[in-house]
Amino acid sequence: MLLGVCPISNESPPTALQILNLGAAVIIVAGNIFWLQSGRATTHDFRASLGRYHRSVAERVREAVWDRFKNENGHYDTLQCINALHQIVLDNQIRPGQMS
């Protein structure tokens, strides 16, 4: 289910960018789930959070990952890249009740 909302585009971006995008999506969705349900998340919570992610920030995250990392040539393990991915996640957090 998560993979269905995470591809960056139909242009088949490099696998590494797809993985960075998926990682950001997982962190954002999990952060939303556990914001109010600390330790008690259910399948329903996951599906609801994934739906919120898809409706509210998925496209922005895909674009941010692509724009920031498209010219890195596979060198993603630098402090600058780690900080950039961290910032993308922070900039796209889903707050409880957020729908857009």
More confident residue, 9 or 23: 23
Task: Say whether 20 sits in a helix, a strand or coil.
Answer: helix
Average pLDDT, the chain: 84
pLDDT beyond 60 at 5:
no
pTM of this prediction exceeds 0.85: no
- Rounded to whole angstroms, the Cα distance separating 21 from 15 reads 10
What count of Cα atoms within 13 Å lies in the side-chain half-sphere of residue 61?
30
Nearest residue to 66 via CA among 83, 84, 80:
84
Nearest residue to 33 via CA among 22, 43, 19, 24:
43
Amino acid identity, residue 8? I
User: How would residue 11 be classed by pLDDT, with cut points 50, 70 and 90?
Assistant: low
Q: Can you tell me the mean pLDDT for 5-13?
A: 57
Tell me: the pLDDT tens digits for 20-53?
A: 999 999 999 999 988 766 678 889 989 999 999 9
pLDDT score recorded for residue 3: 47
- Rounded to whole angstroms, the Cα distance separating 94 from 100 reads 9
